[in-house]
Amino acid sequence: MNDFSKKLIIISNRLPFVLERVENQWKIIPGSGGLVTALAPVLRNRGGLWIGWPGTTIQSDISKPLEAISAQAGFSMQPVFLNDEEIQQYYMGLSNEVIWPLFHDLQSYCNFNPDYWEMYKKINSRFASAIKDKSSGDDFIWVHDYHLMGVAEELRRLGIDTKIGYFQHIPFPPLDIFIKLPWRAEILRFLLQYDLVGFQTVRDRRNFIQCLKAFVPKIAVKGKGQVLSVRFAERNIRVGSFPISIDYKEFSQQAGSKEVADNAWYIHEDIPNGKIILGIDRLDYTKGIIYRLRSFRTFLERHPELHRRVTLVQVVVPSRRSIPMYNELKVEIERLVSEINGQFTKSGWVPIHYIYRTLTRVELLAYYRTAEIALITPLKDGMNLVAKEYCASNIEQSGVLILSEFAGAAAQLQKGAIMVNPYNIEEVAEAIHKAFHMSLKERNQAMRKLQQIISKTDIYWWVNSYLKAAISSDLETFPRMEEYYTKDSLSSLSIFP
C-alpha cells in the first residue's frame, strides 16, 4: 500500500516561481533556473512540499495564488517571507556577492561584508523554523544550494534529528580559494550537520574533503566510489557526487512536437545564411559570455570564407540585475555585440543575433532543435543543464556541442563534445571552425554518444541515486498520487511560460 504520510520536502531559496504585484493583482512568473528545471518533474504529484521565498518582499496573504500554482504544479508550496533589507544582505549579499563568486573561483569579485554573514545566519534560522512547522518525523528534508548551508545546524538546535540532505548546485572551490572565506570554519561546521552532502562532480567532492581535512580536527574519511563516509563528533556524514540532469524524455518528446518544429522552421527562415551557433545563459559573469563573443570575433577575423555562412544567436536571460556587477556585465555584452556586428555585418547578414529576455519553453526548444552548434563555454559551472537540454532536443542528431572543460557536465560529456578552455580565445575560435566542417557521420556519432549518456543518467536516475545514498530508498518511497494525475493537469504542468 502507498504510504502518503511520508513527504519529500524540498527547500530552496526561491519557490519555483516569482510573484509580482501588478495593478493590485498577483502576477505569477514561472521560474527558469537550473534548480527548477531539475526538481519540478521529480516533486510533481507525490504529495511533496517546496519551501522557499516567493520572490516578493510584499508580505500579504498570497494563499490564493499559491493554491492555484500548487494545483498546476502538482505539489504544495510554503512561502518564507523576506523583506528588502534581508534580500539585500542575505541573498544579494552573502549568497551572491560572497559565496557565488568565491565558489566559482572568482575571489576578486567578492565583498566580504560581516553584516551579510549575520543576516545569512538569521535567514537560515527562519527557513529552519518554517521546515520544523511543516515536517513530521517520516519526511525527508532536502535542502538545496549555497543560500541555505546553515539550515541543518539550526534544525538540530530545534531538536530535529531526522535525516536531512543537502545538495550543492554550484561548484565547491579548491582549498587555496576556500581558505579566503572569513567564515570558512563555520561553513564546514554547518555542512557537517547534514546526513548526506551531495556535489555535482568528484572534483567538487574532493575539494570539500580537502577543506575538511585542513580545518576540522579529528575528522576521518573512509570509503571509495560515489559516496564516502566522514566521521566527525560521533556522527557519520555521507559525502557524494551526483551529477544533476534533466527529464530527457520530456525534452526529446517536446522537441519533436509540431509546435516546436514549426517554430524551428521560422527561426531558420529568418536566419537563412548557413549554420546557427547557439549560446543560452543567465546573465552571469561565470557563464563566459564576454570571452565567447571575443572568440567568435576571432573566428570571423580568421575565417572570412565563412562570413554569411554562420550566425551566432546569443540569448541572455535577465538575472540578479540589482547587483551592480551584473548590470555592468550587460552593458559590456551589448557594447561588444554591437562592436562585432558593426565590424562584420554585410547586406543580408548580421553575425550576432542578440536576445535579452526569457524565451518561452517552445522558443527555447526550437532554438535547441534547430541550432547546428551549441557553444557552451562557462568559466566555471556546477553542471550546466543547457548542454544536456541541447543534446536531448537535437532529435535530428546532427548538432555539435562545444563545451567548456570547466562545466561540471564536462566530466560526463567529454567523449562526445568538442572540449575547450573558455579562456583560450584562439582555441574556441578553432573549435567553431572544426564544428562547422564536421561531416554528418561524425556529428551523428558524437551526438548519439551524448544522448545515450544523458538519457541513461537523467533526472530520475539522479534523484534516485541521491535518495538511495540518503535514506537507502528511492523515489518510489514517495509514490505518485494517481488520482491527481489527470491528462489535463499533465498538459498544463509545465512551469515555464
- Contact footprint for ligand GDG (CB under 6 A): 32-35, 37-38, 169-170, 244, 280, 282, 315, 317, 358-359, 361, 364, 381-386, 389, 496
Residue 395 in grid coordinates: 532529435
Rounded-to-integer distance, Cα 384 and Cα 380, Å: 9
Q: How far is the CB of 9 from ligand GDG (least distance, A)?
A: 18
Q: Where are the beta strands (DSSP E) in 63-210?
A: 76-79, 140-144, 164-167, 196-199
Q: How far is the CB of 34 from ligand GDG (least distance, A)?
A: 3
Q: How far is the CB of 204 from ligand GDG (least distance, A)?
A: 11
Rounded-to-integer distance, Cα 239 and Cα 257, Å: 40
Q: Check the CA dihedral 101-106-111-117 and report its sign.
A: positive
Can you give 166-194 as a three-state secondary structure string? EECCCCCCCHHHHCCCCCHHHHHHHHCCC
Nearer to ligand GDG, 180 or 357 (CB): 357
Q: Which residue is nearest to ligand GDG (CB)?
A: 34
Q: How far is the CB of 233 from ligand GDG (least distance, A)?
A: 30
Nearer to ligand GDG, 39 or 187 (CB): 39
Q: How far is the CB of 479 from ligand GDG (least distance, A)?
A: 25
Q: Where are the beta strands (DSSP E) in 45-115?
A: 49-53, 76-79
**Beta partners for residue 278, in sequence order:** 313, 374
Q: How far is the CB of 392 from ligand GDG (least distance, A)?
A: 11
DSSP letter for 88, please. Answer: I
In this structure, which amino acid lies at residue 111?
Answer: N
203 three-class SS: helix
| 41 and 250 Cβ atoms separated by less than 8 Å | yes
Q: How far is the CB of 118 from ligand GDG (least distance, A)?
A: 26
Nearer to ligand GDG, 150 or 382 (CB): 382
Nearer to ligand GDG, 37 or 89 (CB): 37
**305: Cβ contacts below 8 Å, ≥ 6 apart:** none
Nearer to ligand GDG, 6 or 292 (CB): 292
Nearer to ligand GDG, 26 or 466 (CB): 466
Q: How far is the CB of 286 from ligand GDG (least distance, A)?
A: 7
Residue 222 in grid coordinates: 573512509
Of 168, 98, 145, residue with least CA distance to 323: 98
Nearer to ligand GDG, 135 or 393 (CB): 393
Nearer to ligand GDG, 188 or 403 (CB): 403
